[in-house]
Amino acid sequence: MDAPGMSPKGNKRPGDADFFACAIRGVEEELGVTAEAIDSIKVLSLNIEYLILAIAAVAIIRTHLTSQEVKSHWLIQAPDRNEASKFATVSTDPAVVLQKLFSSDVLWHPTARMRLVQFLFHTYGVKEVAAMLKARKA
């Protein structure tokens, strides 16, 4: 969540009014998807981006767009559209997500794994995910 001031790219901005405004701004900046495309937002937690000391809202954001439409928005409208070539979808099946989480062929953002685990906890429950993780170790 940004305080009033300068963005990391040097643009002046007013700051986020609340965590929902932060989530909407993030989707617009990162993916080029406007607020009109958002159906719902559920804030799961907050974390500190330790490299830049910013508070990040971890949220599930549902849109009425398909993944291909999101990628198109990203390619055309997002400030960092060069990253869109790396866009990939991940199944929401917990076994597939866990396989991806433990894959060594993925270059992860420092908090990406934590965000996926939070998605699993929210979607399938902490006990069920813990059992799946324990089964992976066996």
Are the C-beta atoms of residues 43 and 61 closer than 8 Å to each other?
no
Q: Where in the sequence is the domain holding 11, given as residue range(s)?
A: 1-87
Token pair 């869109």 is found at 84
pLDDT, one tens digit per residue, over 25-77 is 888 888 889 899 999 998 888 877 777 777 777 888 999 999 889 888 888 88
Same domain, 16 and 51: yes
Q: Where are the beta strands (DSSP E) in 50-123?
A: 54-63
The verdict on 78 and 94 lying in the same domain is: no
Are 101 and 127 within one domain? yes
- Mark whether 118 and 60 lie in a shared domain: no
Residues 5, 48: contact at Cβ < 8 Å?
Answer: no
The answer to whether residues 57 and 82 belong to one domain is yes
Which residues are registered as beta bridge partners of 13? 5
- The answer to whether residues 73 and 61 belong to one domain is yes
What pLDDT is recorded for position 3?
58
Of 123 and 16, the structure prediction assigns the larger pLDDT to 123
The number of distinct structural domains making up the chain is 2
Q: Convert the pLDDT of each residue in 83-92 to its tens digit.
A: 666 666 778 8
Asked if 77 and 103 sit in the same domain, the reply is no
pTM, 2 dp: 0.68
Question: Domain check: are 72 and 130 in the same one?
Answer: no
Whether residues 97 and 60 fall in one domain: no
Residue 18 has pLDDT above 70, yes or no: yes
Of 49, 72, 87, the one marking the end of a domain is 87
Same domain, 77 and 129: no
